[in-house]
């Protein structure tokens, strides 16, 4: 008679056999997001043209695909003496390629700074709201609900209009709008952690509620907020570009993706597609990369 192995022994083997490797999509997202961060730090030193220096020439299209191999070969052999406008130039004579590569300095800086400030605001307030139940914390959550009830883009436009059109005001506006997300995520996790045995054991040995909240609950409640931060960075990049597109973000001639799309949108009807298509592709791939990374972190956290 054949002996059937126990279920407890079969399940781990099945799980090990089905454990997937790192998907290629996540690898692409990590590489592209890392490249965007690199360009944010060093883009101004590696681009062939000054992104804010006009070449004083009419809008020039990018090289045709059939010309690219020859241009690359001329660069390798050193026969090409002048820099190439890989993405063409816009109506003001700016090199589109250089501006696309330098734009992460503005977009990523705003996204990272606003996300960091939102974390610094949201996590402590979420910890307080989850650890202590009183009228003040209830008022805090109702204010958070009110802030989340308005459309983010419209609220950002109003805040930037009230504070003035500058990078600092854009960062502060996005921080204020994204902080309620972290408040609610942290509060939910704090309420979960409060029911665990380590908290009861800490109370049994006489530790105060504040000491328990800081030493035991807080380190175990930051996971959801940190996972959400990757997705929030992508949305902050998109929102920054949207504000610049409608004229409420950074000012020209600063190299910024949304501003470049807005400048080139009027040229599409004239057949000059490259001035807005290349910035649009760059911002789409960047936001997509951060979203994929956030999804991978969420899957790992919930495993």
Q: What domains, with CATH codes, occur in the chain?
A: 101-301 (1.10.3720.10)
Over the stretch 237-291, which tens digit does the pLDDT of each residue have?
A: 999 999 988 888 888 888 899 999 988 888 888 888 888 999 999 999 999 999 8
Q: How confident is the model at residue 22 (pLDDT cuts 50, 70, 90)?
A: low
What does the block give as tokens for 244?
């610049």
Neighbours of 295 (CB within 10 A): 16
- CA gap 51, 256 in Å, rounded: 10
Instruction: Flag whether the pTM goes above 0.85.
Output: no
pLDDT tens sequence across 174-193? 999 999 999 999 988 888 88
d(CA 35, CA 160): 29
Are the C-beta atoms of 46 and 10 separated by less than 8 Å?
Answer: no
What is the structure's pLDDT at 55? 65
Place of tokens 């026969």: 79
Query: CA nearest 105: which of 250, 232, 297?
Result: 250
* Banded model confidence at residue 158, pLDDT cuts 50, 70, 90: confident
pLDDT exceeds 90 at position 134: no
CB distance 119 to 177 below 8 Å: no
Distance CA 32, CA 166 (A): 28
- What does the angle CA 64 – CA 68 – CA 71 come to, to the nearest 5 degrees? 125
Give the per-residue SS3 of 89-144.
Answer: ECCCCCEHHHHHHHCHHHHHHHHHHHHHHHHHHHHHHHHHHHHCCCHHHHHHHHHH
CA proximity to 268, closest of 260, 255, 256, 277: 277
Angle at 288 between CA 99 and CA 160, to 5 degrees: 60
Backbone angles phi, psi at 147, to 5 degrees: -65, -35
CB hemisphere CA count around 217 (13 angstroms): 33
pLDDT of residue 19 exceeding 50: no
Residue at token pair 């000012």: 251
Query: Looking at residue 71, what is its pLDDT?
Result: 79
Res 5 pLDDT > 70: no
């Amino acid at each position: 008679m054949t002996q059937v192995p126990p279920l407890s022994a079969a399940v781990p083997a099945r799980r090990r056999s089905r454990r997937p490797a790192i998907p290629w999509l996540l690898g692409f997202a990590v590489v592209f997001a890392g490249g965007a961060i690199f360009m944010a730090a060093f883009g101004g030193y590696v681009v062939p043209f000054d992104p804010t220096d006009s070449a004083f020439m009419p809008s020039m299209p990018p090289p045709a695909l059939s010309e690219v191999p020859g241009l690359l070969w001329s660069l390798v052999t050193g026969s090409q003496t002048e820099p190439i406008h890989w993405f063409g130039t816009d109506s003001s004579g700016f090199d589109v390629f250089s501006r696309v590569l330098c734009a992460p300095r503005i977009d990523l800086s705003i996204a990272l700074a606003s996300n960091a400030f939102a974390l610094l605001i949201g996590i402590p307030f979420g910890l307080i709201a989850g650890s202590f139940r009183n009228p003040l914390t209830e008022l805090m959550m109702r204010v958070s609900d009110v802030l989340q009830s308005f459309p983010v883009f419209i609220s950002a436009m109003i805040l930037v209009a009230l504070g003035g059109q500058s990078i600092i005001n854009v960062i502060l506006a996005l921080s204020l709008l994204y902080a309620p997300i972290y408040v609610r995520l942290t509060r939910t996790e704090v309420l979960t952690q409060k029911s665990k045995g380590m908290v009861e054991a800490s109370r049994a040995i006489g530790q105060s509620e504040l000491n328990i909240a800081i030493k035991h609950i807080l380190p175990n409640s930051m996971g959801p907020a940190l996972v959400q931060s990757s997705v929030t960075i992508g949305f902050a990049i998109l929102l920054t570009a949207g504000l610049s597109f409608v004229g409420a973000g950074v000012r020209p001639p600063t190299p910024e993706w949304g501003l470049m799309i807005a400048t080139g949108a009027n040229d599409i009807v004239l057949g000059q597609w490259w001035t807005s298509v290349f910035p649009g592709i760059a911002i789409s791939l960047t936001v997509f990369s951060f979203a994929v990374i956030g999804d991978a972190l969420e899957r790992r956290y919930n495993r």
